[in-house]
Structure 1
Amino acid sequence: MHRYGLIGYPLTHSFSQKYFTEKFEKEGIPDSRYELFELPDISAFPNLIASTPDLVGLNVTIPHKQAVVPFLDELDPASAGRIGAVNTIRILPDGRKIGYNTDYYGFRLSLEDWLRSLEIGPQTLHALVLGNGGAAKAVLTALDDLQIRYRLISRRQTAEALAYESITPEILDEYRLIINTSPVGMYPNVDDSPAIPYGMLTKRHLLYDLVYNPVETRFLQQGREHGAATHNGLPMLHLQAEKAWEIWNQ
């Protein structure tokens, strides 16, 4: 049996479990199953590995993308090593655990596809990145590689980030691409949205939400109501899931 799974907390819903279970059935992949492993605390991770010897691959979600790093034997230098956050772990037959970041690939490819469809060159854009957790780290690395200048926005003003209340009309005029990397607005809290000044948005703006459930968050809905182009996190999820599968089976 090849066992795969997801670690995080809480795991009230899981795209990954549904996606991979359907993939195994559809593609006739034998002796494989995908399970959810709720870990309230990352200190339980070694015990999970020890008690599940047929585990060959894991996905990692909130809040463990950075906390899991010290428990791994190495990081893929091209993704997790640069980003400092892990969302995919490959467990080798000798027990070594290698961390990767497929959020990077999923975000970068889906953003490039979207901008191509809008006939917008990445280098013409500046971005506001909402949130500063593990997902934000992958997004920032992709933006660097696409040469998109960005500013971080978080709840509190820091040396690295602006506070939400500091977003002015001038900033929104310059930073047309707004990317939500926070879980704000995710099911079941579907009425929540990041505290940006939606009334200042125009048809020049582009809103990308990493949240995929619901398909249209309040963040995207309010952007659309002001004429902005919008994009949800589902294409990114599909791309990063396929990249994880490639890593586990290389």
Structure 2
Amino acid sequence: MHLLFGVVGDPVEHSLSPVIHEEFFRLTGLEGEYKKFYIQKGMLKEGIYNLLQAGVTGFNITIPHKTDIIPLLDKIDETAQKIGAVNTVKVENGKLIGYNTDAEGYILSLQKVDPDFTKKSFVLIGAGGAAKAIYYALIKNGVKKLDICNRTLKKAEDIIKEANQSVTTSKPLSFTELEENINAYDVFIQTTSVGMKPNIDDTPLYLKHFNGDGKIVSDIIYTPSETKFLHLAKEKGATTFNGLDMLLYQAALAFRIWTGEMPTIDTAKELVMKQLEGDR
């Protein structure tokens, strides 16, 4: 059977998903293709109808549709419901089922660096959709100490309140508070767009008093491959990693939802890195 998957977004032309999923097809031996589907904001209902008519049985959802898709779904899994965003849809017997693989995708990327991460003290930088997904995933995996640093404290407070997890100690932090207590944390997760191309000299923190020994610092940005934030953390002795593995794992998890097959990410990672180098 020839499978047809795709990514829905506005814009969508620069998506790396086709490169990743074509490699997943090759690795699993399944026959299929993965396409980019441009659907303008406000036209999602009509666009999804057209996808179904074309025979699409699974698709990824990206900006700006991750929340707009929810009213169009017949069912939504618990993780996506808790996060309030969907990035993967499976078409099953004509029904649309929504999932969020960003959360578990980050966890898998973190486990590669530290399999024993649940015992660590965490701070999230940012309080947007990605931060919310990662916060929920960390709580689900049993992390006990998890704070959120954001310019607008109300947004951090809302994420903590909505998670409603009494087993986890969380508090909202200003950037000043984080800088004053920066060595109280073992793992730092940067979830904002600060440092992304073309603003590669920007960083959310300058880490002046940071001692990186034994610390882990991650940034969900992957272009550039090393943000200024990661560069500064590495100079201070921290173990660092970017968002590329998260991108690949969330794609692999989506592929598993659609096909039942969980592909490895190594060769897809090589292909994506070559493409990113070619775009410089």
SS in 1 for 2:197: coil
**How far is 1:27 from its partner?**
4.6
Q: Is the 8 A contact 1:104 1:142 kept in 2?
A: yes
Taking the TM superposition and a 5 Å limit, the aligned residue runs for 1:56-205 are 56-77=57-78, 79-94=79-94, 96-116=95-115, 121-148=116-143, 149-158=145-154, 160=157, 161-170=172-181, 172-193=182-203, 195-204=204-213, 205=215
Q: TM-score, normalised by structure 2?
A: 0.77
Q: Cα deviation per residue 1:97-144 (whole Å; 9 max; x = unaligned)?
A: 11111112211122123113xxxx434322111222222222111211
> 2:169 aligns to what?
none
Identity percentage over the alignment? 35
**How far is 1:64 from its partner?**
2.9
Taking the TM superposition and a 5 Å limit, the aligned residue runs for 1:15-94 are 15-25=16-26, 27-30=28-31, 32-41=32-41, 43-52=42-51, 53=53, 54-77=55-78, 79-94=79-94
Change beyond 3 A, Cα 1:210–1:200: same
Gap runs ≥5 in structure 2? 158-171, 261-280
Distance 1:184 1:177 in 2: 18
Distance 1:70 1:36 in 2: 22
Q: Cα deviation per residue 1:171-200 (whole Å; 9 max; x = unaligned)?
A: x1212311012233233443333x224212
Change beyond 3 A, Cα 1:115–1:28: closer
**How far is 1:28 from its partner?**
4.4
**How far is 1:25 from its partner?**
4.4
Change beyond 3 A, Cα 1:200–1:84: same
SS in 1 for 2:153: coil
Q: How many residues align?
A: 240
Q: CA RMSD in A?
A: 2.2
> 1:234 aligns to what?
244
Q: Is the 8 A contact 1:201 1:228 kept in 2?
A: no
Distance 1:60 1:28 in 2: 25
Q: Is the 8 A contact 1:206 1:229 kept in 2?
A: yes
Distance 2:130 2:105 in 1: 11
SS in 2 for 1:237: helix
Q: TM-score, normalised by structure 1?
A: 0.85
Change beyond 3 A, Cα 1:224–1:74: same
Q: Cα deviation per residue 1:178-229 (whole Å; 9 max; x = unaligned)?
A: 1012233233443333x22421222233211112222212221121122111
Verify: 1:207 aligned to 2:217, yes or no.
yes
Distance 1:189 1:39 in 2: 28
Instruction: Give the counterpart letter for 2:132 in structure 1.
Output: K
Change beyond 3 A, Cα 1:192–1:67: farther
Gap runs ≥5 in structure 1? none
Instruction: Give the counterpart letter for 1:50 in structure 2.
Output: Y
Q: Is the 8 A contact 2:234 2:240 kept in 1?
A: yes
Q: Cα deviation per residue 1:24-47 (whole Å; 9 max; x = unaligned)?
A: 3455432x2222233441x31111
Change beyond 3 A, Cα 1:164–1:24: same
